[in-house]
Amino acid sequence: MIAVIDYGAGNLKSITNALDFLRVEYKVTDKPEYIKKADKIIFPGVGAFGDCIKALVKKGLFKSLKREIGKKPYLGICMGLEVLFEKSEESPGVKGLSIFKGKCRKFKSKNLKIPQIGWNSVEIVNKKSSLFKKVDDGSYFYFVHSYYVDAVDKKVILTKTNYGIDFVSSVERGNIFGVQFHPERSGEIGIRILENFVKC
C-alpha cells in the first residue's frame, strides 16, 4: 500500500486518479500509523513551505516522515520535494525535514513570470535513475512553482531544467525521490514516472 499524504491543503484528486489508472493500492492519509504501515510514500504537497511544515508538525507527520523516509521509497512532488530540504526563502526561520542539505530559493528575474506555470523540459543528469527509466532526455513536464531547490550535495541531482537559470528539477538519493514538476499532470510521460516509482 502507498500512503498518499494529505495534510489538508490541497486537492489530491489528480494524483489519486493517476494511481487508480495504474491500478495500485493506496491510502490517502494524515495519520502517522498509515505511513508506518505503508510500503511507499507519496507526498504531493501544495501551498506555502511554512504552512506545510506547521501542518506536518501538528499532525505528528513531521517526526513520522523523518523516521520513515529512507526506510521505504518516498516520492515528493512539488512542495513534497521542497520540504525535504533544510529551509526555504518562502518561510524564513522554519526548519524543513532536512533529509537533503540546501534550501529553497525564489526565482529572481525581471524578465520572468513567477510562478513558472507550464510545460518545461528536463535534462537528465543521473542517467542511471530508476525513476526516469524509459523517459527520454529533454522530455516535458508540467510545472507550477515559484521556488526551486538548491542542493548542496550535487550528487543528488537527478534532473535540471532551465527557467532563466538552470535549476534542479528533481533529486534522488537511494530510495528517496523528489520532483518539482507534477507527474500526475504531465500526460503519458508523467504516468511513466509514477509507474517507475510504484515499481521501484
Active site residue 184: yes
Nearest to 102 by CA among 40, 69, 150, 64: 150
Q: In the complex with another protein, which residue's Cβ is closer, 64 or 169? A: 169
Identity of residue 60: G
Phi/psi of residue 14, each to 5°?
A: -70, -35
Q: How far is the CB of 82 from another protein (least distance, A)?
A: 14
Q: In the complex with another protein, which residue's Cβ is closer, 120 or 175? A: 120
Distances from the Cα of 96 to the Cα of 51, 59, 89, 91, 180, angstroms: 11, 15, 11, 10, 16
∠ CA 164-172-75 to the nearest 5 degrees?
95
Q: In the complex with another protein, which residue's Cβ is closer, 52 or 69? A: 52
Distances from the Cα of 189 to the Cα of 4, 37, 195, angstroms: 20, 29, 10
Q: In the complex with another protein, which residue's Cβ is closer, 178 or 190? A: 190
Task: Give the Cα separation of 40 and 120 in Å (integer).
Answer: 27
Q: Which of 52, 90, 145, 182 is catalytic?
A: 182
Residues that bind another protein (CB under 8 A): 10-11, 13-14, 17-18, 20-21, 46-47, 113-121, 140, 142-144, 162-163, 184-188, 190-191
Task: Give the Cα separation of 80 and 90 in Å (integer).
Answer: 15
Q: How far is the CB of 1 from another protein (least distance, A)?
A: 21
Active site residue 182: yes
Q: How far is the CB of 132 from another protein (least distance, A)?
A: 17
Q: How far is the CB of 146 from another protein (least distance, A)?
A: 9
CB 147 within 8 A of CB 168: no
CB 12 within 8 A of CB 28: yes
Q: How far is the CB of 71 from another protein (least distance, A)?
A: 29
Q: In the complex with another protein, which residue's Cβ is closer, 114 or 200? A: 114
Q: Which of 52, 68, 78, 145 is catalytic?
A: 78
* Catalytic positions: 78, 182, 184
